[in-house]
Structure 1
Amino acid sequence: MSSIPHVDVALYEKDFASFVQTLGEGYEGNGFVALTNHGIPADDIHRALDITARLFDLPEDVKKKYHQEGGGGARGYTPFGTEIAKDAEHVDLKEFWHVGRELEGPQTDPALLPNVWPEELPEFKNQMLSLFKALDALGSRVLEGIAVYLKQPRDYFKTRTNMGNSILRPLHYPPIIDEGTPSVRAAAHEDINVITLLIGSREPGLEVLSKSGAWIPVTILEGAIVCNVGDMLQRLTNGVLPSTTHRVVNPPAPYSSKSRYSIPFFLHFNSEVMIDALDSCVTPENPKKDEPITANDYLMERLREIGLIK
């Protein structure tokens, strides 16, 4: 059994119309799907998760060398207990590292900051950049399907995300030391960005909030990649595609005594893109909900809400 719909990415080449329909219906009904036959080798995913574990096994003083004070966690290391979900009372039980788009030459977008790499793990850079590229390409295929489902040109998102401030986030949830803690690994939240692609984790904990108000554990086929709608896409579609609330709960023993590792890829619009409800998503029954806002202004607003920018 699976808790969210599965979408066969092989249909992108074999039967694009079916790919569009299964993808669009999955998102409109759930906000979450699981992508199978996505083309990213399992060995690459396992290696990325393994080096993520090695990264967070580095001593605290070493990791903190790569924390950029006042940088809002945009690149490099963000220590344990920093991020807090919007409207939550307690910080999340996690630490993470941000890898952004790697570009050559002078940059015109101030949001596209240089990456920070741990000199203690020289192979981390190539593995993360390779995974970034693979997930960015997979995300572009998903967005082609979404565009057609929304009655837009197939390449609608291409020039709107090709230079986006997308983020790869190797993530570590340490073992739960205090079983009575009021904090959870990741409190209930929605993602800020356009879509999120998640590899890992190898342990349970991810749950989504159903329309009935029940929390449903996410169970997927081995090797599938979870992909969900973010708030930017929800805003663009005037709520037609929902950004579903989700969380990572503290698991029962024996999982609570173990670390959990995962690597979400947060796909973003280009900074200057105006997020404004598509005409195809505005009807008398579903009137326009929000005013236009640039992707970067929206991102900054939300980062302040979760405590990464003061």
Structure 2
Amino acid sequence: MSYTLFLAPALLLAPANPNGAPAPIELTDHTDEVFSLVFSPDGKRLASASKDRTVRLWDAATGDAGAVLKGNTSDALRVAFAPDGKTVACAGADGHVHVWEVASGKAVLAFKAHANWACGLAYSSDGKLLATAGADKTAAVWDAATGERRVTFTGHPAEVWAVAFAPDGKTVASAGKDKAIRLWSAATAEERQSLTGHGGEVFTLAFRDANTLLSCSGDKSACVWDLNKGEATARLAGHTAGVFTVALCEGRAFTASDDRSARVWDLATGKQVAALPNHKSGVYAVAVSADGKTVATAGKDRLIRLYPRAK
């Protein structure tokens, strides 16, 4: 089988020798669709969230199964590690957020965040706050230790699918079914900026730095936004169906699409530079470790594909 192996960004992304490169590890323990993936900050663990109502932890180097984290009463939609890697949180279709200790698998916090689907989830860079997005047309910021609500963002006229903290923790971005991206004060909930340009609903947001935001959409593209200019400076176009997830590592953007593929883009040029082999059906999630050497994909076919570290 021919495929592309991801190497560290400094080594670029180049086709591997199919006779010499290791095949991706396939993780098959989930019993239903996998919606979300994230690597721990140190890159040693991978967390996955699934329609089977579980969050699972994996050894990122070997694919060995770790703890199965339970508590969701419905689909586990979005998963996030705290910046210190000690806890992992999940937002679910029952509107709740659950938090577990990574080392022990012990549940440490659960709170009702939204009236129905809690679709987006993000930690602030200091780990003290959690942001959520919901199908109840709101986003919110919470105390990550207690689950106490800090502020609520009301302005989207439809379901909110995505939320992200700016690196300094002072700004929250949200987006969803109304196609618009809104930026808010994390302290006061004042709306600071609105970005428009996508032709479909927006599913995921990711800050590259304080002034650059990436978004992915049902319009089959991902956009790079210059927040100082208030406009999109690049559109990553090439997928043939909606793009569900965008993840970042240095100068690369990783996207996952309902067209069964995950692709990699050079942010300097906006050009596609690599692709992973297709899943059997839509790819909902892609994640890349902080060092850029390990990539994971997952989706509707229930499989997680883990691409091993380059030797």
Q: TM-score, structure 1 length as denominator? A: 0.26
Structure of greater Rg = 1
Structure number with higher strand proportion = 2
Structure number with higher helix proportion = 1
